[in-house]
Amino acid sequence: MAEKIFINAINEALVEEMRRDESVFIMGEDIKRSVYGATMGLLDEFGEKRVLDTPLSENAFFGAAVGAAAVGMRPVVETLTSFMWVAMDQLVSQAAKMRYMFGGQVNLPVVYRATMYYGGGSAAHHSDRSYPMFMNMPGLKIVAPSSPADMKGLMKTAIRDDDVVIMFEDGTLFGSRGEVPDNEDLPNGELLIPFGQANTLREGTDATIVAIAGSVPHAVAAADELAAEGVSVEVIDPRTLVPLDKASILASVEKTGRLVIADPAHKVCSAASEIASIVAEEGFWSLQAPIVKVASEQVHIPYSPALEKLVYPTKEKILAAVRSTLA
């Protein structure tokens, strides 16, 4: 086991998969020189044919990835969440719908790597955390890792998956560190994490926190603080939102009877809303208190640091929410 930085874990996954499978290639803006950091060294190792800098036309290259995948390639596309709006046509009408619409005739092994920058003064146009919108649209697998190991293992799974996967990469975690198993210590010599399996970061009996992406560290911090007070909190990271491991969530709520959901996306029609609605339907009889959502305020991301810090879930908000369910 070695401690690794989140963004380097992305890079490792890309390198390993590109070495393993010639049909994997990557395209995006300024990736040759790795302006955003995850594609370091790829051009040198894999050359111009497999590492492509695109014109600034996301709709065209997001769609070109679909077309290339339809005829046998495995494209990885680098982008920011905020640039997905201009490419929504291809994401929805083609990437998400094509397989079903054509009766399963074609597999589309495309990975869209969508970085979510927020929390650092990027303002309304560059701070989108849009996975709930894509969860509403059938046909997309949606991944939101919260640690370097998950990032690496889920990215490798995503690249091998024969379906369209959107990796929501949380920019607030890019500099974070965590243990990543070394390949030589792993059963098959590589780190692959299956989709649809939540990760339980803390076990507990008094309350459950389901936390997503960048909210996970805050949830863990809250749980640890509560543990010191003698309150035993379970923390679950679903890791993939589509498919969602609802069995783990329901089992935890069955044990604790209390649920708080921490989600950095906007709170209306959020992943938190969805998880709450599942538990309110399928886990209702376990519940001993209201389900509390701790998600972003329903405003755009203001630039001013004085305001931006008020928007997202924090340890304090999560603490207050857990306490309210125990009151």
Partner 1 sequence: MAMDKDLLMLMLRRMWLIRHFETTVIDIYSKGEFGGAAHPYIGEEAVAVGACTAMKDTDYIAGNHRSHGHPLAKGGDPKRAMAELLGRVDGYCKGKGGSMHLADFSVGILGESGILGSSVPVATGAALAAKIKGENFISAVFFGDGASNQGACHESMNLASVWKLPIIFICENNQYAVTTSYRDTVSVEHVSDRASAYNMPGVLVDGQDVVAMHEAVSVAIERARAGEGPSLVEGLTYRYEEHSLGLGRVRRGEYRSEDEIAEWRKRDPILIHEKRLVEQGIASQDECDALSADVAREVEEALEFARNSPFPEPEALFEDMFANPIPQP
DSSP notation for 135-161:
HHSTT-EEE---SHHHHHHHHHHHHHS
Q: What is the greatest pairwise CA distance in the chain?
A: 60
| Residue (of 79, 76, 57) closest to 169 by Cα position | 79
Q: Is 23 helix (H, G, I), strand (E, B) or coil?
A: coil
Interaction of residue 280 with partner 1, rule CB under 8 A: no
x-marked contacts with partner 1 along 113-152 as a string, rule CB under 8 A: -------xxxxxxx-----------xx-x-----------
Residue 88 partner contact from partner 1, a second copy, ligand TPP, none using kind-dependent CB cut-offs of 5 to 8 Å: a second copy
Query: If DSSP states are collapsed to H, E and C, what string results for 36-105?
Result: CCCCCCHHHHHCCCCEEECCCCHHHHHHHHHHHHHCCCEEEEEEEHHHCHHHHHHHHHHHHCHHHHCCCC
Q: Is 281 helix (H, G, I), strand (E, B) or coil?
A: helix
Interaction of residue 289 with a second copy, rule CB under 8 A: yes
How far is the C-alpha of 164 from the C-alpha of 62, rounded, in Å? 11
Subset of residues 32 to 61 that bind ligand TPP, contact rule: CB under 6 A:
56, 58
126 is catalytic: yes
| Among 12, 17, 78, 161, contact with partner 1 (rule: CB under 8 A) | 161
Residue 107 partner contact from partner 1, ligand TPP, a second copy, none using kind-dependent CB cut-offs of 5 to 8 Å: partner 1
Nearest CB to ligand TPP, comparing residues 63 and 313: 63
Subset of residues 62 to 101 that bind ligand TPP, contact rule: CB under 6 A:
83, 86
Q: Which of 125, 126, 218, 266 is catalytic?
A: 126
Residue showing tokens 């803390």 = 202
Interaction of residue 100 with a second copy, rule CB under 8 A: yes
Q: List residues near a second copy by CB under 8 A.
A: 82, 85-86, 88-89, 91-93, 96-97, 100-101, 123-125, 130, 132-133, 135-139, 242, 265-266, 268-274, 276-277, 279-282, 284-285, 287, 289-293, 298-300, 302
Task: Give me the active site residues, please.
Answer: 126
